Amino acid sequence: MASRQDLAAATLETLPITIAVIDDDGEIRLTNRSWREFAPESEDHLGVDYVATAATADDEHATRAVAGIERVLDGDQESFEMEYPCHSPTEKRWFMMRASRFRDGDERLVSIVHVEITERKLAEIAAEENAQQVRDERQALEHVLERVDGLVRDVTDAAVGAETRGEIEREVCARLTETDPYALAWIGRADVTNRRLSPQEWASEGDVSLEDDELVIGTDERHPAIRAFEDGDPHVIQDLDAFDDADRWWPAEAGEHVRSIIALPLTYGEITYGVLVVFAADPEAFDERERFVLESLAETIATAMNALEVRRMLTTETVVSMAVSLEDPSLFVTALSTAVDATITYRGVTYDADGTPLVFLHADRELDAASVQNAFANGRDVEILSETESDTVLEVEAEDGLVTALSEYGGVIQELTVTDGVADLVLELPDGRSARSAYDLLERRYDRVELDSYHETEEPTRTRKDIVTRLESSLTDRQLMALRKAYYANYFEWPRDISGEELAASMDISRSTYHQHLRTAQRKLLDELLE
């Protein structure tokens, strides 16, 4: 059976830590296998002055180790412990050294133990880095919150307190560029006539300039402002240097002042008032948090613009007149004009008892029932109200047609004539916002839409719309339908194109009942005009 000393020596050899024993003179008296394998250039280092060898190393960690070991050798302290790096060319490593004094009989010895602590050290470093990252993020968040709180308050105050839309645009741009890291801000409006998106108001810090080129709606899809305006979503360029078309819109020296760009639509409901474009001095400036703040600001700006627009509508008498040309065979008046080879003119609209719109159309030649029905093969209800050798008046059900769609934006059709596949439409709308929305609707629905004219004018104090509204409120649905049918079917012309019996039949009522509705409606109309 092995002696206790032999067992201890064998155990020492198997330990996965490097161990050496030195005497009072610092010479190595014993090493284990881990020690020898760690430094294979010398088999065991026996007889080597460990302290003197370590003292020759030009290393702060070696200097600390020597000082600690000497204090243990001198009896000033029982043990000494330190951690130190020992990196190789291929990996990072850390060790802990512990020197402990002990006696073997009358001889004083010191054990030197080196334990690898790389895994623990890496975990500590990772934990510290994470903690530092959290501290940095907290500090950055506090800074952002402080900056954002002031920015949101300033922009909101500017938007809500403004008296005009131009003042909103001017104040918002100024407040944005007073806040780091923003260097330039502009708000653009759309010119529906010329299809341009142009800066209306702008502000900058330093020598930052606006775009060099015009922005064309429907053409310059690469520009973030056009993209934001057309699809209704924010668009970001995080690094201007990497943007292929940068030289087209921004001068070369712009890169010295701005590095990233965000464009945000100013949208309230279905109305887009324009685009807010913000430039930052640093790349990657518009992270998710920054975008969220700016999107909220854009909503606030659009809401303020809408409030001003509503207030203006309530206090002023303005109207927009817009002329548009449409080419699309799916438009039902265009399909009818093509099918019957006639010029079709819109006369007006009324509503049946179920609220279904009934549109009255005039054709410049006599039409037969068969050709009319063939033109409406989709099943749309159509009726010939009157016809002569030179013209025909039709009544067409238009539940989902152009007339009802435009009425949702307050649009009133003043003229609509279709010839040779082209529909010439003149609309009256209550304001520019409604005009823009109506035009967008036409563009979405039809193949080719061309704006021919756009005018905003002041109406007299008592508008035609006021008269119509008052009249409609005083008439029953049947009285109003009787009046409109008679007018649109040329009942008041001489000679008449249609009789009272035919109009009564179109409403499925007796001739006497029809005339009673018509006379009542005429009297109320005269009351409205003459009293």
Q: Helix or strand or coil: residue 263?
A: strand
Instruction: Please give the average per-residue pLDDT across 478-485, as a whole number.
Output: 84
Whether residue 417 has pLDDT greater than 90: yes
Q: What's the rounded Cα separation, in Å, for the pair 130 and 222?
A: 39
**How sure is the predictor about 468, in pLDDT bands with cuts at 50, 70 and 90?**
low
Q: pLDDT tens digits for 166-200?
A: 888 888 888 888 887 888 888 988 876 677 888 88
Q: Rounded to an integer, what is the distance from CA 256 to the centroid of its chain?
A: 27
| Direct distance between the N- and C-terminal alpha carbons of the chain, in angstroms, rounded to an integer | 134
Q: Rounded to an integer, what is the distance from CA 492 to the centroid of its chain?
A: 55
Give residue 256's pLDDT: 60
pTM greater than 0.85: no
The residues facing 97 across adjacent strands are 82, 114
What are the structure tokens assigned to 73, written together? Answer: 């050798």
Class of domain 139-315: alpha beta
Whether residue 158 has pLDDT greater than 80: no
Class of domain 4-116: alpha beta
Question: CATH 1.10.10 spans which residues of the chain?
Answer: 460-531
Q: 102-111, 140-149, 202-211, 469-478: lowest mean pLDDT where?
A: 140-149
CB 472 within 8 A of CB 480: yes
Question: CATH 3.30.450.40 spans which residues of the chain?
Answer: 139-315
Using N-to-C axis directions, what is the helix angle for 288-315 and 118-161, rounded to 10°? 10
398 to 32, 351, 405, 410, 413: CA distances (angstroms): 100, 10, 10, 17, 14
207 to 210, 226, 236: CA distances (angstroms): 10, 24, 22
Question: CATH 3.30.450.20 spans which residues of the chain?
Answer: 4-116
Q: pLDDT tens digits for 267-291?
A: 887 788 889 999 888 888 888 888 8
Class of domain 460-531: mainly alpha
Q: Which helix (H) or strand (E) holds 173?
A: helix 165-177
